Amino acid sequence: MTSLTSEHTMRTGVATKLKSHGGLIALGLILVFNIIVTPNFLHTQTLAVNISQVATIAIVAMGMTLVIATGGIDLSVGAVMALSGALAPLIFMSEFGQAYPVLGLIGALFFPLVAALLCGLFNGVIVAVLRVQPIIATLILFISGRGIAQVLTNGNLQTFSYPEFSYLGTGKILGFPFQGWLALAIACFLFWVVNRTVFGRYLLAIGGNERAAKLAGGPVRRVKIGAYVICSILSGLAGLIVVAINSASDAARNGNLMELDAIAAAVVGGALLQGGKAPIFGAILGAVIIQLVKYTLLANGVEDEVALIAKAAIILAAVYIQQARKE
Amino acid sequence: MLDQNAFDMRKYISRNPQSVAVWIALFVLIVFGLLRYDNFGSAYNITSFLNYNAMFIAISVGMCFVILTGGIDLSVGSVAAFTSVIAAYLSPYGIEVALPLAVLSGVGFGLFNAVCIVFGRIPPFIATLATMLGAKGGSLVISGAQTISVDWGSNFTQLGMEKAMGIVPWTIVLVGILVVCLWVVLEMTSLGRTILAVGGGEDASVMMGLKVNRAKIFAYALSGGCAGLAGVFLASGFGAGQPLEGVGWELSAIASVVVGGTLLTGGLGSIPATVAGALLLGLVFNILNFENGKGWISFSAYWQMVIRGAFLFAVILFQTRVMNRQSGVEFAK
């Protein structure tokens, strides 16, 4: 009898551990697999390439995590990336930007983020004040945001050579890509916000039980709007980074399907779709896993298309485990 | 459960107040088009407009069923791309083989969604997102990421390019039959009533002993099948299976359903209004083309998306106002 019980606890103990650290275990497996199979995997260049690619996904995924924590979702992140990415070259390549390069550079970093902020405000107000479902509310900008970007650029590819701006995507600090450090800094800041500020407390409370949070006198509307605004600003930043990496802005492709990657990364990282949890570093873990799976398949000559199917399988597995844990 | 007054206008409006907006908007847009453009009401414009939009109507009505159960299906665009490739490969055997098998492959994806959602308890948003990626990957793999030309020697392209008795395009005939059948299923059968009940309150429906799982499985399988049909239209109308098509179709379909006044929380909505929603979004593009043809202004194609988004916004604003006035129905919890 006793042995049975202890065996049972042991087994559930292992199962719980497996579930709560599933992401880390998956990451470990992918790393071990790569070290054995993929040629030149343990190379600083491989690391740098992966960091520069994962940073944008991670930055957007952290914003998405905040939105998901309120029980919402933001489909417009890719469109916001396209919009801010289209605005930046328009500003520093304008006559004013050419005449005053410093002001042009500041403007090219500032105004796209303001535009992103306004997008977030738009989403947040529709969700929190008009009480429209998040999928639909953010669908509006998903559809029209990229359209606005394309109207602004007339659908043209904007190419430029502007080292100061491109630093955002190609610069290196201590040998690692600048945007990697940026993502890390944002993660530390958001971790502090979620765990140590009133805003963060209410964020989790709203996702846990919105009505209770409201009855407790919480500023539900403002916190919700705040989550969408942060998510949009981070998306705008990611859009700038993508443009900086490519030294070109293509409104049709910038951030295309990013909403899927970001949602997948957030969910793999442990964000509950019902809300109430905001694992910021989990989002980074999720982004790293998704990036590494993509890289592993590509580096071993597997087609891009199959990588899509692998991504689908990862998302399903992550959520299935999540559901099992809840029950 | 036969509803005698299903076609009573006043009853329809009182049951679907949120659907009124789309009919008014559609009416206004059509009148505007007829008054402003000479060829707007021409047989050529009407048939080519309907022929092109047939596939969007098909996926929208399928999506409507899923949304009525309180779910969502993000996989329809990828599934349509997949089935267009399947249909193109099967086209040498003729439409009578290609059409059913391609639709069946769509149903297969729908059943996979249903299994994940009903038995795996995975949220519809995530399950269908995964299927979307999987179907996209699958269609790229089986086509080698190339468009697959159909067999022009068989009768396959007649579906998308020719007209029944020289008047109505075959796609319209098929979609018309589909819409009427689904309307009847939703309004007059116990299955339809169950679907509405599930969206209205799933736990209550389970307690009432309704076959909730069956209704949900039907909805997702139907949506997959409709996407399959859209894929056949795509391959037949454009002469090729197109693995890269279908991007964003799911969101157009959701937009059509929402513009048609169906509540995203499920439980309330109508098939004809969904068709009207799909036509409305299509008309925006059609009218934009005519406006450009007049030469007064030159809207680039990119405006299309902006205007569609604005339309969606306007309808949502209208819906929230109507629904907030109605007591007893809570719009968007």
What ipTM was assigned to the predicted interfaces of this complex? 0.77
Give yes or no for a contact between B59 and B248, defined as CB atoms under 8 angstroms apart. no
Residues of A in contact with B248 (CB under 8 A): 143
pLDDT band, residue B2 (cuts 50/70/90): very low
Of B264, B301, B308, the CB nearest to A136: B264
Q: Which of A96, A81, A53 is nearest to A149 (CA)?
A: A81
Question: What pLDDT score was predicted for residue B14?
Answer: 64
Mutate to test the interface with A, among B73, B313, B329, B331 (most CBs of A within 10 A): B313
Average pLDDT for chain B: 84
Average pLDDT for chain A: 85
Burial-class residue B177 by CB neighbours within 10 Å (0-12, 13-18, 19+).
exposed
Question: What pLDDT score was predicted for residue B217?
Answer: 95
Mutate to test the interface with B, among A143, A220, A304, A326 (most CBs of B within 10 A): A143
Question: Mean pLDDT over residues B52-76, rounded?
Answer: 92
- Domain boundaries of chain B, sorted by first residue: 19-325
Mutate to test the interface with A, among B305, B317, B324 (most CBs of A within 10 A): B305
pLDDT band, residue A27 (cuts 50/70/90): confident
Please tell me what DSSP assigns to residue B115: I
Of B123, B130, B258, the CB nearest to A312: B130
Distance (Å) of CA A97 to CA A89, A107, A110, A152 = 9, 8, 13, 17
| Interstrand relation of A176-177 and A172-173 (parallel, antiparallel or unpaired) | antiparallel
Give yes or no for a contact between B96 and B38, defined as CB atoms under 8 angstroms apart. no
- Joined tokens for residue A119: 């997008």
Question: What pLDDT score was predicted for residue B328?
Answer: 42
Predicted confidence (pLDDT) at residue A168 exceeds the cutoff of 70: yes
Burial-class residue A3 by CB neighbours within 10 Å (0-12, 13-18, 19+).
exposed
- Joined tokens for residue B145: 């990421």
pLDDT band, residue B198 (cuts 50/70/90): confident
Of B125, B137, B316, the CB nearest to A306: B137
**Among A46-60, A168-182, B103-117, B318-332, which stretch is predicted with the lowest mean pLDDT?**
B318-332
Predicted confidence (pLDDT) at residue B232 exceeds the cutoff of 90: yes
Question: What pLDDT score was predicted for residue A17?
Answer: 57
Question: What pLDDT score was predicted for residue B227?
Answer: 96
DSSP string, B21-85: HHHHHHHHHHHHHHHH-TTTTSHHHHHHHHHHHHHHHHHHHHHHHHHHTT---TTHHHHHHHHHH
Predicted confidence (pLDDT) at residue B59 exceeds the cutoff of 90: yes
Question: Mean pLDDT over residues B121-146, rounded?
Answer: 88
- Domain boundaries of chain A, sorted by first residue: 24-326
Question: What pLDDT score was predicted for residue B7?
Answer: 53
d(CA B286, CA B176): 21
Q: Tell me, yes or no, if the pTM score tops 0.90.
A: no
Query: Do residue A147 and residue B302 have CB atoms under 8 angstroms apart?
Result: yes
Q: Which of A16, A13, A56, A47 is nearest to A284 (CA)?
A: A56
Give yes or no for a contact between A138 and A75, defined as CB atoms under 8 angstroms apart. yes
Question: What pLDDT score was predicted for residue A56?
Answer: 93
Query: Do residue B131 and residue A312 have CB atoms under 8 angstroms apart?
Result: yes
Give yes or no for a contact between A256 and A84, defined as CB atoms under 8 angstroms apart. no
- Joined tokens for residue B112: 């996979």
Of B72, B116, B303, the CB nearest to A135: B72
d(CA B319, CA B313): 10
Counted across chains A and B, CB pairs separated by less than 8 A come out at 137
Question: Mean pLDDT over residues B291-320, rounded?
Answer: 76
Continuous H helices in chain B: 9-15, 20-36, 43-68, 76-90, 95-114, 124-143, 158-161, 170-188, 190-200, 202-207, 212-238, 249-259, 271-294, 302-325
Distance from CA of B137 to the nearest CA of A (A): 4
pLDDT band, residue B77 (cuts 50/70/90): very high
Phi, psi of B91 (to 5 degrees): -60, -30
Of residues A106 and A212, more confidently modeled = A106
Question: What pLDDT score was predicted for residue B38?
Answer: 83
Q: A24-326 adopts what CATH topology? A: ABC transporter involved in vitamin B12 uptake, BtuC (1.10.3470)
First to last CA, chain B: 30
Of B137, B307, B331, the CB nearest to A308: B137
3-state helix, strand, coil in chain A (%, to 5): 80, 0, 20
Question: Mean pLDDT over residues B51-59, rounded?
Answer: 92
Predicted confidence (pLDDT) at residue B306 exceeds the cutoff of 60: yes
Predicted confidence (pLDDT) at residue A8 exceeds the cutoff of 60: no
Maximum average pLDDT range among A117-121, B158-162, B164-168: A117-121
d(CA A25, CA A32): 11
CB neighbourhood size of B286 (10 A): 20
Chain A residues 247-286 within an 8 A CB cutoff of chain B = 260, 263-264, 267, 273
Question: Mean pLDDT over residues A182-210, rounded?
Answer: 90
pLDDT band, residue B31 (cuts 50/70/90): very high
Percent of chain A exceeding pLDDT 70 equals 92
Question: Mean pLDDT over residues B37-59, rounded?
Answer: 88
| Interstrand relation of B168-169 and B163-164 (parallel, antiparallel or unpaired) | antiparallel
Cα dihedral A208→B72→A140→B54 (10° resolution): 180
CATH number of B19-325: 1.10.3470
